[in-house]
Protein backbone atom coordinates (compact mmCIF):
# COMPACT_ATOMS: atom_id res chain seq x y z
CA UNK A 1 0.00 0.00 0.00
CA UNK A 2 2.91 2.34 0.62
CA UNK A 3 3.39 2.19 -3.12
CA UNK A 4 0.18 4.22 -3.53
CA UNK A 5 1.81 6.93 -1.46
CA UNK A 6 4.86 7.21 -3.69
CA UNK A 7 2.61 7.13 -6.77
CA UNK A 8 0.64 10.07 -5.41
CA UNK A 9 3.82 12.02 -4.64
CA UNK A 10 5.16 11.31 -8.14
CA UNK A 11 1.90 12.51 -9.71
CA UNK A 12 2.14 15.82 -7.85
CA UNK A 13 5.23 16.58 -9.90
CA UNK A 14 2.90 17.70 -12.72
CA UNK A 15 2.57 20.97 -10.85
CA UNK A 16 5.94 21.84 -12.42
CA UNK A 17 4.17 22.30 -15.75
CA UNK A 18 3.23 25.93 -16.39
CA UNK A 19 -0.49 26.47 -17.03
CA UNK A 20 -1.58 29.52 -19.02
CA UNK A 21 -4.92 31.30 -18.84
CA UNK A 22 -5.66 29.87 -22.29
CA UNK A 23 -5.21 26.33 -20.91
CA UNK A 24 -7.44 27.12 -17.95
CA UNK A 25 -10.08 28.45 -20.34
CA UNK A 26 -9.90 25.20 -22.29
CA UNK A 27 -10.57 23.09 -19.19
CA UNK A 28 -12.95 25.14 -17.09
CA UNK A 29 -16.54 26.10 -17.91
CA UNK A 30 -16.74 29.62 -19.40
CA UNK A 31 -18.50 30.99 -16.35
CA UNK A 32 -16.11 29.40 -13.81
CA UNK A 33 -15.38 31.99 -11.12
CA UNK A 34 -11.64 31.17 -11.22
CA UNK A 35 -11.37 32.57 -14.76
CA UNK A 36 -12.49 35.92 -13.37
CA UNK A 37 -10.31 35.77 -10.23
CA UNK A 38 -7.01 34.30 -11.36
CA UNK A 39 -5.99 36.99 -13.92
CA UNK A 40 -6.25 39.57 -11.11
CA UNK A 41 -3.51 37.92 -9.02
CA UNK A 42 -1.71 35.44 -11.27
CA UNK A 43 1.41 37.56 -11.77
CA UNK A 44 1.93 38.05 -8.04
CA UNK A 45 0.87 34.63 -6.80
CA UNK A 46 3.37 32.05 -5.59
CA UNK A 47 0.76 29.32 -6.15
CA UNK A 48 0.52 27.10 -9.20
CA UNK A 49 -2.89 27.55 -10.85
CA UNK A 50 -3.79 24.01 -9.75
CA UNK A 51 -3.31 25.05 -6.12
CA UNK A 52 -5.12 28.37 -6.44
CA UNK A 53 -7.99 26.70 -8.27
CA UNK A 54 -8.26 24.10 -5.52
CA UNK A 55 -8.42 26.78 -2.82
CA UNK A 56 -11.10 28.70 -4.74
CA UNK A 57 -13.20 25.62 -5.54
CA UNK A 58 -13.05 24.29 -1.96
CA UNK A 59 -14.12 27.63 -0.49
CA UNK A 60 -16.82 28.05 -3.14
CA UNK A 61 -18.21 24.61 -2.32
CA UNK A 62 -18.31 25.48 1.38
CA UNK A 63 -20.13 28.75 0.57
CA UNK A 64 -22.73 26.86 -1.46
CA UNK A 65 -23.38 24.68 1.58
CA UNK A 66 -24.03 27.81 3.64
CA UNK A 67 -22.03 26.56 6.61
CA UNK A 68 -21.75 28.94 9.55
CA UNK A 69 -18.36 30.40 10.50
CA UNK A 70 -15.72 32.68 9.02
CA UNK A 71 -12.73 32.05 6.76
CA UNK A 72 -9.13 31.93 7.99
CA UNK A 73 -5.72 31.88 6.33
CA UNK A 74 -2.74 30.86 8.47
CA UNK A 75 0.43 31.93 6.69
CA UNK A 76 -0.31 34.96 4.55
CA UNK A 77 3.07 36.11 3.18
CA UNK A 78 2.26 39.04 0.83
CA UNK A 79 -1.50 38.46 0.97
CA UNK A 80 -2.05 37.39 -2.63
CA UNK A 81 -4.11 34.30 -1.78
CA UNK A 82 -5.91 36.41 0.82
CA UNK A 83 -7.04 38.67 -2.03
CA UNK A 84 -8.25 35.62 -3.97
CA UNK A 85 -10.29 34.41 -0.96
CA UNK A 86 -11.69 37.86 -0.21
CA UNK A 87 -12.67 38.47 -3.82
CA UNK A 88 -14.52 35.17 -3.98
CA UNK A 89 -16.40 36.13 -0.80
CA UNK A 90 -17.26 39.47 -2.50
CA UNK A 91 -18.49 37.79 -5.68
CA UNK A 92 -20.67 35.41 -3.65
CA UNK A 93 -21.96 38.36 -1.60
CA UNK A 94 -20.94 36.58 1.60
CA UNK A 95 -20.87 38.41 4.92
CA UNK A 96 -18.11 36.15 6.26
CA UNK A 97 -14.97 37.74 7.63
CA UNK A 98 -11.49 36.74 6.46
CA UNK A 99 -9.06 36.35 9.37
CA UNK A 100 -5.38 36.52 8.38
CA UNK A 101 -2.63 35.21 10.67
CA UNK A 102 1.07 35.71 10.16
CA UNK A 103 4.21 36.70 12.03
CA UNK A 104 4.82 39.25 9.26
CA UNK A 105 8.49 38.47 9.75
CA UNK A 106 8.64 35.11 8.00
CA UNK A 107 9.10 31.58 9.28
CA UNK A 108 10.17 30.77 12.82
CA UNK A 109 13.26 28.58 13.29
CA UNK A 110 12.61 25.17 11.72
CA UNK A 111 13.11 21.95 13.66
CA UNK A 112 15.54 20.18 11.33
CA UNK A 113 14.45 16.76 12.62
CA UNK A 114 10.96 17.48 11.29
CA UNK A 115 11.54 20.02 8.50
CA UNK A 116 14.35 18.69 6.37
CA UNK A 117 14.30 21.09 3.41
CA UNK A 118 16.71 24.02 3.47
CA UNK A 119 14.10 25.89 1.42
CA UNK A 120 12.35 26.54 4.74
CA UNK A 121 14.73 28.84 6.63
CA UNK A 122 14.06 31.09 9.58
CA UNK A 123 12.82 34.43 8.24
CA UNK A 124 11.88 33.05 4.79
CA UNK A 125 8.60 34.33 3.29
CA UNK A 126 8.79 37.59 5.21
CA UNK A 127 6.41 40.33 4.17
CA UNK A 128 5.41 43.23 6.38
CA UNK A 129 1.94 43.87 7.73
CA UNK A 130 1.93 47.22 5.85
CA UNK A 131 2.71 45.44 2.60
CA UNK A 132 -0.26 43.08 3.06
CA UNK A 133 -2.57 45.92 4.10
CA UNK A 134 -1.57 47.86 0.99
CA UNK A 135 -2.32 44.91 -1.30
CA UNK A 136 -5.71 44.31 0.33
CA UNK A 137 -6.53 48.02 -0.07
CA UNK A 138 -5.33 48.02 -3.68
CA UNK A 139 -7.87 45.28 -4.41
CA UNK A 140 -10.58 46.95 -2.32
CA UNK A 141 -11.04 43.98 0.02
CA UNK A 142 -9.54 45.34 3.25
CA UNK A 143 -12.88 45.80 4.96
CA UNK A 144 -13.72 42.15 5.42
CA UNK A 145 -10.16 41.27 6.48
CA UNK A 146 -8.70 41.26 9.99
CA UNK A 147 -4.93 40.85 10.42
CA UNK A 148 -3.42 39.06 13.43
CA UNK A 149 0.29 39.66 13.83
CA UNK A 150 2.54 37.26 15.74
CA UNK A 151 3.37 33.57 16.12
CA UNK A 152 0.38 31.24 15.64
CA UNK A 153 0.99 29.75 19.10
CA UNK A 154 0.39 33.21 20.59
CA UNK A 155 -2.24 34.75 18.31
CA UNK A 156 -4.61 31.86 17.54
CA UNK A 157 -5.43 31.18 21.22
CA UNK A 158 -6.55 34.82 21.60
CA UNK A 159 -9.52 34.23 19.30
CA UNK A 160 -12.92 34.68 20.87
CA UNK A 161 -14.33 31.43 22.25
CA UNK A 162 -17.35 31.77 19.95
CA UNK A 163 -15.23 32.17 16.80
CA UNK A 164 -15.96 29.35 14.31
CA UNK A 165 -14.62 28.65 10.84
CA UNK A 166 -16.15 27.09 7.74
CA UNK A 167 -12.90 27.21 5.75
CA UNK A 168 -9.20 27.34 6.60
CA UNK A 169 -6.20 27.69 4.33
CA UNK A 170 -3.16 26.52 6.27
CA UNK A 171 0.06 27.46 4.48
CA UNK A 172 2.58 27.38 7.31
CA UNK A 173 5.44 25.33 5.73
CA UNK A 174 6.74 23.92 9.02
CA UNK A 175 5.82 21.04 11.31
CA UNK A 176 5.41 23.00 14.56
CA UNK A 177 3.49 25.81 12.84
CA UNK A 178 1.09 23.28 11.30
CA UNK A 179 0.60 21.56 14.67
CA UNK A 180 -0.22 24.95 16.24
CA UNK A 181 -2.86 25.54 13.56
CA UNK A 182 -4.40 22.08 13.91
CA UNK A 183 -4.66 22.36 17.69
CA UNK A 184 -6.27 25.76 17.58
CA UNK A 185 -8.43 25.43 14.48
CA UNK A 186 -9.95 21.95 14.77
CA UNK A 187 -12.22 22.72 17.73
CA UNK A 188 -13.43 25.81 15.85
CA UNK A 189 -14.19 24.04 12.56
CA UNK A 190 -17.82 23.18 11.90
CA UNK A 191 -18.76 19.71 10.67
CA UNK A 192 -18.19 19.69 6.88
CA UNK A 193 -15.91 22.74 7.15
CA UNK A 194 -12.83 22.37 4.95
CA UNK A 195 -9.16 22.86 5.76
CA UNK A 196 -6.74 23.03 2.81
CA UNK A 197 -3.07 22.41 3.64
CA UNK A 198 -0.23 23.51 1.40
CA UNK A 199 3.04 21.56 1.20
CA UNK A 200 1.52 18.29 2.40
CA UNK A 201 3.54 16.53 -0.30
CA UNK A 202 6.63 18.71 0.06
CA UNK A 203 9.73 16.54 0.61
CA UNK A 204 10.59 18.66 3.65
CA UNK A 205 8.07 16.47 5.45
CA UNK A 206 6.99 18.75 8.31
CA UNK A 207 3.45 19.45 7.17
CA UNK A 208 2.97 15.83 6.22
CA UNK A 209 4.01 14.39 9.58
CA UNK A 210 1.95 16.98 11.47
CA UNK A 211 -1.26 16.26 9.56
CA UNK A 212 -0.76 12.49 9.38
CA UNK A 213 -0.35 12.32 13.16
CA UNK A 214 -3.47 14.44 13.58
CA UNK A 215 -5.76 12.45 11.27
CA UNK A 216 -4.22 9.24 12.61
CA UNK A 217 -6.03 10.18 15.81
CA UNK A 218 -9.21 11.73 14.41
CA UNK A 219 -9.66 9.18 11.59
CA UNK A 220 -10.66 11.93 9.14
CA UNK A 221 -10.08 11.33 5.44
CA UNK A 222 -7.25 13.17 3.66
CA UNK A 223 -8.10 14.25 0.10
CA UNK A 224 -4.70 14.29 -1.57
CA UNK A 225 -3.58 16.89 -4.11
CA UNK A 226 -3.63 18.67 -6.36
CA UNK A 227 0.01 19.67 -6.50
CA UNK A 228 1.49 19.87 -3.02
CA UNK A 229 -1.86 20.38 -1.34
CA UNK A 230 -4.39 18.22 0.41
CA UNK A 231 -7.63 18.96 2.21
CA UNK A 232 -9.67 17.51 5.03
CA UNK A 233 -13.43 17.82 5.45
CA UNK A 234 -14.01 18.22 9.17
CA UNK A 235 -15.82 15.25 10.67
CA UNK A 236 -15.80 13.14 7.47
CA UNK A 237 -14.09 9.79 8.05
CA UNK A 238 -13.15 6.93 5.73
CA UNK A 239 -16.28 5.26 4.40
CA UNK A 240 -18.37 8.43 4.82
CA UNK A 241 -19.48 11.13 2.39
CA UNK A 242 -19.49 8.77 -0.59
CA UNK A 243 -15.69 9.01 -1.02
CA UNK A 244 -13.60 6.01 -2.06
CA UNK A 245 -10.70 5.70 0.34
CA UNK A 246 -7.43 3.79 0.70
CA UNK A 247 -5.71 2.88 3.93
CA UNK A 248 -2.15 4.09 4.16
CA UNK A 249 0.31 2.80 6.76
CA UNK A 250 2.37 5.56 8.34
CA UNK A 251 5.47 4.62 10.35
CA UNK A 252 5.07 4.85 14.12
CA UNK A 253 1.39 5.72 14.20
CA UNK A 254 -2.10 4.53 13.24
CA UNK A 255 -2.92 4.06 9.55
CA UNK A 256 -4.48 7.04 7.81
CA UNK A 257 -7.16 7.07 5.10
CA UNK A 258 -6.63 8.96 1.85
CA UNK A 259 -8.85 9.63 -1.15
CA UNK A 260 -7.92 10.53 -4.72
CA UNK A 261 -11.54 11.17 -5.75
CA UNK A 262 -11.12 14.92 -6.16
CA UNK A 263 -8.08 14.36 -8.41
CA UNK A 264 -10.00 11.85 -10.48
CA UNK A 265 -12.64 14.47 -11.25
CA UNK A 266 -10.08 17.26 -11.82
CA UNK A 267 -9.84 17.34 -15.62
CA UNK A 268 -6.97 19.81 -15.69
CA UNK A 269 -4.90 17.69 -13.30
CA UNK A 270 -5.63 14.51 -15.29
CA UNK A 271 -4.63 16.26 -18.54
CA UNK A 272 -1.35 17.44 -16.96
CA UNK A 273 -0.59 13.88 -15.82
CA UNK A 274 -1.14 12.64 -19.39
CA UNK A 275 0.96 15.47 -20.84
CA UNK A 276 3.81 14.73 -18.43
CA UNK A 277 3.63 11.05 -19.28
CA UNK A 278 3.86 11.78 -23.03
CA UNK A 279 6.84 14.05 -22.40
CA UNK A 280 8.63 11.42 -20.30
CA UNK A 281 8.00 8.70 -22.89
CA UNK A 282 9.42 10.91 -25.64
CA UNK A 283 12.40 11.72 -23.43
CA UNK A 284 12.93 8.03 -22.67
CA UNK A 285 12.92 7.21 -26.39
CA UNK A 286 15.44 9.97 -27.11
CA UNK A 287 17.68 8.96 -24.24
CA UNK A 288 17.53 5.34 -25.39
CA UNK A 289 18.70 6.36 -28.86
CA UNK A 290 21.42 8.55 -27.41
CA UNK A 291 22.62 5.73 -25.15
CA UNK A 292 22.83 3.58 -28.31
CA UNK A 293 24.99 6.23 -29.97
CA UNK A 294 27.33 6.30 -26.98
CA UNK A 295 27.73 2.52 -27.11
CA UNK A 296 28.62 2.61 -30.82
CA UNK A 297 31.41 5.04 -30.12
CA UNK A 298 32.86 2.78 -27.42
C1 LIG B 1 4.49 30.14 2.14
S2 LIG B 1 4.12 31.53 3.09
C3 LIG B 1 2.38 31.74 2.88
C4 LIG B 1 1.98 32.04 1.46
C5 LIG B 1 0.56 32.52 1.28
N6 LIG B 1 -0.40 31.65 1.89
C7 LIG B 1 0.26 32.63 -0.20
O8 LIG B 1 -0.51 31.82 -0.71
O9 LIG B 1 0.81 33.54 -0.86
C10 LIG B 1 4.21 30.93 4.72
C11 LIG B 1 3.87 32.01 5.75
O12 LIG B 1 3.67 31.38 7.02
C13 LIG B 1 4.10 32.27 8.04
N14 LIG B 1 4.34 31.45 9.23
C15 LIG B 1 4.86 30.20 9.28
N16 LIG B 1 4.89 29.74 10.54
C17 LIG B 1 4.35 30.71 11.32
C18 LIG B 1 4.08 30.83 12.71
N19 LIG B 1 4.38 29.84 13.55
N20 LIG B 1 3.50 31.95 13.16
C21 LIG B 1 3.20 32.96 12.30
N22 LIG B 1 3.45 32.93 10.97
C23 LIG B 1 4.01 31.81 10.48
C24 LIG B 1 5.33 32.95 7.44
O25 LIG B 1 5.56 34.21 8.01
C26 LIG B 1 4.95 33.05 5.95
O27 LIG B 1 4.42 34.33 5.64
Domain with residue 98: its CATH number is: 3.40.50.150
Residue 227 falls inside a structural domain: yes
Q: Determine the structural domain holding residue 132 and report its residue range.
A: 2-262
The pLDDT score that the predictor gives to residue 162 is 96
Question: Distance between CA atoms of 214 and 179, rounded to whole angstroms?
Answer: 8
Residue nearest to atom 8 of ligand 1 (CA): 81
> Which residue would you say has higher pLDDT here, 256 or 297?
256
Q: pLDDT band at residue 108, thresholds of 50, 70 and 90?
A: very high
Residue 278 falls inside a structural domain: no
> Which residue would you say has higher pLDDT here, 42 or 16?
42
Read off the pLDDT of each residue in 186-210 and give the average, rounded to a whole number.
95
Instruction: Name the domain count of the chain.
Output: 1
- Asked whether residue 298 carries a pLDDT value surpassing 70, the answer given is no
The pLDDT score that the predictor gives to residue 200 is 93
Pick the range with the lowest mean pLDDT from 4-18, 109-123, 214-228: 4-18
What is the model's pTM? Answer: 0.94
The pLDDT score that the predictor gives to residue 21 is 95
Residue 68 falls inside a structural domain: yes
Residue 289 falls inside a structural domain: no
Question: Distance between CA atoms of 292 and 294, rounded to whole angstroms?
Answer: 5
- Asked whether residue 13 carries a pLDDT value surpassing 90, the answer given is no
Residue 40 falls inside a structural domain: yes
The rounded mean pLDDT for the chain is 94
The pLDDT score that the predictor gives to residue 1 is 45
* Dist. CA 234 → ligand 1 center (Å): 22
Read off the pLDDT of each residue in 140-150 and give the average, rounded to a whole number.
98
Read off the pLDDT of each residue in 187-196 and give the average, rounded to a whole number.
96
Residue 267 falls inside a structural domain: no
Question: Distance between CA atoms of 188 and 233, rounded to whole angstroms?
Answer: 13
Pick the range with the lowest mean pLDDT from 127-131, 133-137, 138-142, 291-295: 291-295
* Dist. CA 125 → ligand 1 center (Å): 7
Read off the pLDDT of each residue in 135-146 and give the average, rounded to a whole number.
98
Read off the pLDDT of each residue in 249-266 and give the average, rounded to a whole number.
92
Tell me if 94 sits within 8 A of 65, measured CB to CB. Answer: no
Q: pLDDT band at residue 244, thresholds of 50, 70 and 90?
A: very high
Read off the pLDDT of each residue in 254-282 and give the average, rounded to a whole number.
91
Closest CA to 117 of 105, 104, 107: 107
- Asked whether residue 9 carries a pLDDT value surpassing 90, the answer given is no
Query: How far is CA 191 from each of CA 46, 101, 230, 278, 287, rounded to the nearest angstrom?
Result: 30, 22, 18, 41, 52
Residue 281 falls inside a structural domain: no
> Which residue would you say has higher pLDDT here, 100 or 297?
100
Read off the pLDDT of each residue in 183-187 and give the average, rounded to a whole number.
98
Pick the range with the lowest mean pLDDT from 12-26, 41-55, 213-227, 243-257: 12-26
| Burial letters 21-43, b for 16+ CB under 10 A, else e | eebbeebbeeebbbeebbeebbe
Read off the pLDDT of each residue in 154-169 and give the average, rounded to a whole number.
97
> Which residue would you say has higher pLDDT here, 173 or 117?
173
pLDDT digits (tens, 9 = 90+) for 30-82: 999 999 999 999 999 999 999 999 999 999 999 999 999 999 999 999 999 99
Residue 54 falls inside a structural domain: yes
Instruction: List all residues whose CB is within 6 A of at least one atom of ligand 1.
Output: 46-47, 75-77, 80-81, 102-103, 106-108, 125, 151-152, 171-174, 177, 180
Residue nearest to atom 12 of ligand 1 (CA): 75
* Dist. CA 25 → ligand 1 center (Å): 30
Amino acid sequence: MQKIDSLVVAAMEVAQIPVSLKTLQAFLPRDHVFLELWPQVAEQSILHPLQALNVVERLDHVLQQQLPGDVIECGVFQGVTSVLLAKLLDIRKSDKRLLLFDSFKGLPAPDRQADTSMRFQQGAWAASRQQVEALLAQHGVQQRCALFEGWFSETLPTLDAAQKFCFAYVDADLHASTVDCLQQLWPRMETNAVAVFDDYHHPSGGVRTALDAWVGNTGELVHVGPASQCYVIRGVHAGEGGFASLRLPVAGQRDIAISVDSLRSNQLFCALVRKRLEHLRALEAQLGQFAGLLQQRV
